[in-house]
């Protein structure tokens, strides 16, 4: 842990007009986009053009649509509070025991990457345990205890959306105030002269309460990602209740997304070395995004299938499954190759051979000179971000599982393509300024970003 300090050092950075415009646009639009999608499912059976056509032709007014939207309820507020409290307790009060009996799983206390100010944080990695216990309870309830209906999440979906928004805005606002007045590590704070930018992109790098409650690790993983698979299960239960059976499309979406979620928790230690934790500050983008955007928009396929119980032909279902599994394989192996390479400082085998390496160096904010290595073998020699390609193939598979009836379930692949392309450009810009000439040597050795010969 880095030293705790009571006031932030405030080097100011300027924000260009384009970034500022995009940020204000996103702040205004993202909340509306989530509402629009969920409302379109609730009132127009997931037809995205439905509300617009109704308003344009005078069949409905905005106020009619709003009046039909379920408000926040006491039940949803209680459920949500219970949910978040339960996840906080699992995160803070139950040290990891999975690493003691699961071979190959790395949990317990682990170190994160070196922050720009040279701090190395310690984390209690117990996400897999939280996921397992939560799902054990869910299945115990569904098959033995019957405390609540498995459709409970679907049945309260819009009232819960308001609760998630309250938490998302509250945590982002708190993080901003905390960054100004009582930061965890002042040397890792980032200030611009613009309020909106600070609010959206965050001031503090790794805000914490006490020694262990790390905002990024908690909000990124739980409650959103633990909830992801429960939300899908609730959608499947609702499909069965409404249509008498669970379709193969719903099974595919549940299985493929569960693989992605379990992978995330199995590799939570690896996650400490990804861009979210290593480079992004904690503001509205991460805080609200984790509470609202992720659980509501990453689960659109399951929601859609409640309204449209698509049953795929066998070749279609097999095609989707294969695409999802191959995508997952590339995603996992590419990420594993980089992780192994970095952990062993290049003393490993990639695709059975000693890896090709570019030695590089950089200077951190405290003026210290550091050495690092870039991998030029395996998937990192195919393209500079081939791990994103695997992710995109998996994302496309979820969408294709929903057939071709509506645009709404395809939002995910459109969003992921934009997110990961932007992320790739942002990361390359950062790496270019971090490594300078050494990065140029890497781009000369591996000329394409995502798809060889194309981009």
Give me the residues that bind ligand NDP (CB under 6 A), please.
274-275, 331, 335, 338, 372, 374-375, 380, 385, 387-388, 391, 420, 423, 427, 431, 434
| DSSP E strands, 86-204 | 108-114, 120-125, 191-192
Cβ nearer to ligand NDP, comparing 31 with 274: 274
CB nearer to ligand NDP: pick between 20 and 419: 419
Name the minimum Å distance from CB 372 to ligand NDP.
6
Q: Kindly tell me which of 316 and 441 has the beta carbon lying closer to ligand NDP.
A: 441
CB of 12 to ligand NDP, least distance (A): 24
Q: Based on CB atoms, which residue is closest to ligand NDP, 240 or 423?
A: 423
- Measured from each CB, the residue nearest to ligand NDP is 274
Alpha carbon 11 to its chain centroid, in Å, reads 29
Spatial neighbors of 32 by CB under 8 A, at least 6 apart, are none
Question: b or e along 372-409 (b: 16 or more beta carbons within 10 Å of the residue's beta carbon)?
Answer: eebbbbbbbbbbbbbbbbbbbbbbbbbbbbbbeebebb
State CA 152 to chain mean position distance: 23
CB nearer ligand NDP, residue 143 or residue 369: 369
User: By 3-state DSSP, what share of the chain in percent is helix, strand and coil, each rounded to 5?
Assistant: 65, 10, 30
- Rounded least distance, CB 137 to ligand NDP, Å: 25
Closest-CA residue to 35 (of 141, 172, 160, 202): 160
Q: Report the distance separating Cα 272 and Cα 125, nearest Å.
A: 10
Closer residue to ligand NDP (CB): 33 or 72: 33
Output the smallest distance, CB 383 to ligand NDP, in A. 10
Q: How far is the CB of 97 from ligand NDP (least distance, A)?
A: 26
State the minimum distance, in angstroms, from the CB of residue 155 to ligand NDP: 27
SS3 44: helix
Q: To 5 degrees, how large is the angle CA 164–CA 169–CA 175?
A: 125
Which is it for the CA torsion 205, 209, 210, 216, positive or negative?
negative
């Amino acid at each position: 842990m880095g030293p705790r300090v009571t006031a932030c050092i405030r080097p100011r950075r300027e924000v260009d007009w384009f970034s500022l415009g995009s940020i204000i646009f996103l702040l205004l639009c993202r909340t509306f986009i989530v509402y629009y999608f969920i409302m379109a499912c609730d009132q127009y059976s997931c037809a995205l053009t439905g509300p617009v056509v109704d308003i344009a032709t005078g069949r409905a007014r905005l106020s009619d649509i709003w009046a039909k939207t379920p408000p926040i309820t006491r039940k949803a507020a209680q459920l949500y509070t219970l949910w978040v409290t339960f996840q906080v307790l699992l995160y803070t009060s139950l040290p990891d025991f999975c690493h003691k009996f699961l071979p190959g799983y790395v949990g317990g206390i682990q170190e994160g990457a070196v922050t720009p100010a040279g701090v190395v944080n310690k984390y209690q990695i117990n996400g897999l345990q939280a996921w397992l216990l939560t799902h054990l309870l869910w299945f115990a309830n569904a098959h033995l205890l019957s405390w609540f209906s498995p459709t409970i999440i679907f049945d309260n979906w819009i009232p819960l959306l308001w609760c998630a928004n309250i938490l998302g805005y509250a945590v982002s606002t708190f993080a901003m105030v905390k960054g100004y007045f009582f930061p965890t590590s002042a040397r890792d704070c980032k200030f611009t002269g613009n309020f909106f930018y600070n609010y959206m992109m965050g001031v503090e790098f790794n805000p914490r309460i006490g020694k262990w409650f790390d905002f990024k690790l908690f909000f990124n993983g739980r409650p959103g990602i633990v909830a992801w698979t429960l939300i899908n299960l609730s959608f499947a239960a609702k499909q069965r209740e409404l249509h008498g059976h669970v379709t193969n499309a719903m099974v595919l979406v549940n299985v493929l997304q569960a693989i992605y979620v379990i992978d995330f928790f199995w590799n939570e230690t690896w996650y400490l070395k990804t861009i979210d934790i290593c480079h992004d500050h904690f503001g509205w983008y991460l805080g609200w995004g984790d509470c609202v955007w992720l659980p509501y928009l990453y689960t659109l396929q399951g929601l859609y299938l409640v309204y449209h119980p698509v049953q795929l032909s066998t070749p279609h279902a097999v095609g989707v499954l294969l695409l999802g599994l191959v995508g997952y394989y590339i995603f996992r192996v590419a990420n594993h190759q980089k992780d192994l390479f970095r952990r062993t400082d290049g003393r490993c085998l990639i695709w059975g051979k000693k890896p090709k390496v570019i030695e590089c160096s950089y200077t951190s904010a405290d003026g210290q000179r550091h050495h690092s290595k870039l991998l030029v073998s395996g998937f990192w020699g195919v393209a500079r971000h081939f791990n994103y390609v695997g992710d995109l193939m998996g994302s496309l598979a979820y969408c294709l599982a929903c057939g071709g009836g509506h645009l709404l379930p395809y939002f995910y692949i459109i969003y992921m393509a934009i997110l990961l392309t932007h992320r790739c450009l942002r990361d390359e810009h950062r790496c270019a300024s971090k490594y300078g000439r050494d990065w140029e040597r890497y781009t000369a050795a591996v000329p394409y970003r995502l798809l060889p010969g194309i981009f």
